C-alpha cells in the first residue's frame, strides 16, 4: 500500500510534480536527442538552451534589472559564504547574525577583512530578528540571511540602509517579490525552493565587482562566470534542468506575487492552528515568523508527547516534521511546491491528536 506522502522536509525538500516528472523524462530522453540528460555535452545546443532559458526565467520572475547578471554555480550556498567576501569585501563588511547560516557566513568573511556584526539574536536562541542597529556607512556591504531555515524566522522588512545588501536567500527565494536593485549580491542554494542540491543561483550586480585588491581564483570569481555565460566549467546539468522546470511551473502559477499569496495562506493556516491548539506553541517572535519554515514545540506539560505526535503524524503520511536539534520539537517547511491540502492534513492531525489527550 502506498499512502500519499506530505513532504515537510526543510531541505532537500518538496519539488513540484511537474519538475519531477519532466526531469525524470529528460533523464530517459533529453530534448528528443535519444540520449539521457545525464550523458550529453553541456556545450551541446540543447543544454546551452536550457541554461540560458533558466537564467532568463530567473530574470523574469524576480524582475532582475540589466545592472545584474545571473549565474549558476556549484558548491552550495556554503561556498557563497566565502565567495561573497572574496569578491566584495575590501576592508570592512557588516553582518546581521540571525542563525546558524549567518554565523557560518560571518566566520568565512573574517578570513577576508574586518567584519562588524551589527546585531545578533543568539541571546534568545535566534528566536527573533534584531531590529535596533546601525550599519556603518563605510561598510562594503551589509549581509543578511532573509529566512532562517533552522530557527523559523524571516526578515519581513528589508532594512533601510545606504550600504548595498548581500543576501543569503536560500530558503525563501521565489517565495515573495524582491527589490533586486538594493543588492550587490543575492545567492541561494537550489535545494529549498527550486531544484535538487548541486546548483546555487547568484544574482550579481556588475558594478560591485572589480573593487577588491586581492587576486581571486577563477572558479571563485563571479566575473569569470559572468564572462563565460555561466559555463566556465561543466555546470550541474541535472539540477539546472530541474530548476528550469520549477521556474516554468512558477510562471504558470502566476509568478512570484501569486506564489507569495499562496504562501501567506498556507502559513496562516498552520500558525493559526499552533496558536489555537492547547498542546502546541510557536518558538519565535510572532512578527518574525517565517512563512517557509514553521517551528513549534509542545508546551512543557505535554513535552513527553512529542514523539507520540510524531508517530501519529507519520501514520497520516506526514513526513519530515522533526525539528532541527538546535530548536527541538517540530519544523514544517512550507516551500512553494507544498500544496495547501498537505498543510490541512497536518493541522487536522494536530486537532485530532489534541482530542485524544
- Least separation in angstroms between CB 106 and ligand PLP: 12
Question: What's the CA gap between 280 and 302, in Å, rounded?
Answer: 9
The DSSP symbol for 225 reads H
Of 100 and 223, CB closest to ligand PLP? 100
Q: Examine residue 171 and tell whether it contacts ligand PLP (CB under 6 A).
A: yes
Q: Examine residue 103 and tell whether it contacts ligand PLP (CB under 6 A).
A: no
Based on DSSP, count helices (H) and strands (E) in the chain, helices before strands.
Answer: 9, 14
Question: What's the CA gap between 74 and 61, in Å, rounded?
Answer: 22
Q: Using CB under 6 A as the criterion, what x/- string covers residues 57-76 for binding ligand PLP?
A: -------------------x
Active-site amino acid positions = 101, 168, 192
Which residue of 52, 78, 90, 136 would you call a contact of ligand PLP, by CB under 6 A?
Answer: 78
Residues in contact with ligand PLP, counted by CB under 6 A, come to a total of 12
Helix (H) or strand (E) segment spanning residue 294: strand 293-298
Q: Examine residue 323 and tell whether it contacts ligand PLP (CB under 6 A).
A: no
Of 147 and 347, CB closest to ligand PLP? 147
For ligand PLP, the binding residues in 183-222 under the rule CB under 6 A are: 189, 192
- Least separation in angstroms between CB 83 and ligand PLP: 11
Which residue of 101, 126, 280, 330 would you call a contact of ligand PLP, by CB under 6 A?
Answer: 101
Question: What's the CA gap between 95 and 79, in Å, rounded?
Answer: 17
Contacts of 332 (CB under 8 A, 6+ apart): 8, 270, 293, 294, 296, 321, 343, 346
Q: Examine residue 22 and tell whether it contacts ligand PLP (CB under 6 A).
A: no
Question: What's the CA gap between 312 and 83, in Å, rounded?
Answer: 44
Q: Using CB under 6 A as the criterion, what x/- string covers residues 104-143 for binding ligand PLP?
A: ----------------------------------------
Per DSSP bridges, beta strands 142-145 and 114-120 are unpaired
Question: From start to end of 135-209, where are the E strands?
Answer: 142-145, 147-148, 153-154, 165-168, 183-189, 200-205
Report residue 97: phi and psi, to 5°: -95, 100
Of 283 and 347, CB closest to ligand PLP? 283
Report residue 84: phi and psi, to 5°: -60, -55
- Least separation in angstroms between CB 336 and ligand PLP: 14
Of 145 and 263, CB closest to ligand PLP? 145
**Residue ranges that bind ligand PLP, judged by CB under 6 A:** 11, 76-78, 101, 145, 149, 168, 170-171, 189, 192
Amino acid at each position: 500500500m502506498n499512502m500519499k506522502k506530505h513532504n515537510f522536509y526543510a531541505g532537500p525538500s518538496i519539488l513540484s510534480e511537474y519538475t519531477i516528472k519532466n526531469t525524470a523524462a529528460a533523464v530517459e530522453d533529453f530534448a528528443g536527442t535519444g540520449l539521457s540528460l545525464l550523458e550529453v555535452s553541456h556545450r551541446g545546443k540543447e543544454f546551452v538552451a536550457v541554461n540560458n532559458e533558466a537564467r532568463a526565467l530567473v530574470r523574469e520572475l524576480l524582475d532582475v534589472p540589466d545592472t545584474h547578471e545571473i549565474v549558476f554555480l556549484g558548491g552550495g550556498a556554503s561556498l557563497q559564504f566565502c565567495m561573497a567576501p572574496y569578491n566584495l569585501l575590501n576592508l570592512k563588511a557588516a553582518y546581521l547574525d540571525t542563525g546558524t547560516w549567518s554565523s557560518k557566513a560571518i566566520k568565512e568573511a573574517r578570513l577576508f577583512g574586518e567584519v562588524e556584526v551589527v546585531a545578533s539574536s543568539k541571546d534568545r536562541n535566534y528566536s527573533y530578528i534584531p531590529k535596533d542597529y546601525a550599519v556603518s556607512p563605510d561598510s562594503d556591504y551589509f549581509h543578511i540571511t532573509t529566512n532562517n531555515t533552522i530557527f523559523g524566522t524571516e526578515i519581513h522588512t528589508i532594512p533601510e540602509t545606504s550600504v548595498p545588501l548581500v543576501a543569503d536567500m536560500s530558503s525563501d527565494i521565489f517565495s515573495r517579490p524582491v527589490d533586486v536593485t538594493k543588492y550587490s549580491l543575492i545567492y541561494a542554494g537550489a535545494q529549498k525552493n527550486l531544484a535538487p542540491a548541486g546548483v546555487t543561483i547568484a544574482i550579481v550586480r556588475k558594478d560591485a565587482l572589480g573593487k577588491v585588491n586581492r587576486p581571486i581564483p577563477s572558479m571563485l570569481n563571479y566575473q569569470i562566470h559572468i564572462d563565460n555565460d555561466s559555463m566556465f566549467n561543466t555546470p550541474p546539468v541535472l539540477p539546472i534542468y530541474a530548476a528550469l522546470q520549477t521556474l516554468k511551473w512558477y510562471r504558470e502559477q502566476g509568478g512570484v506575487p501569486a506564489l507569495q499569496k499562496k504562501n501567506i495562506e498556507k502559513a496562516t493556516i498552520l500558525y493559526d492552528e499552533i496558536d489555537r491548539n492547547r498542546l502546541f506553541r510557536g518558538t519565535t517572535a510572532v512578527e518574525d515568523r517565517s512563512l517557509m519554515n514553521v517551528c513549534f514545540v509542545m508546551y512543557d506539560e505535554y513535552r513527553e508527547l512529542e514523539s507520540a505526535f510524531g508517530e501519529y503524524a507519520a501514520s497520516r503520511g506526514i513526513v519530515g516534521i522533526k525539528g532541527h536539534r538546535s530548536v527541538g520539537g517540530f519544523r514544517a517547511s512550507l516551500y512553494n511546491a507544498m500544496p495547501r491540502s498537505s498543510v490541512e492534513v497536518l493541522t487536522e492531525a494536530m486537532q485530532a491528536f489534541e482530542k485524544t489527550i
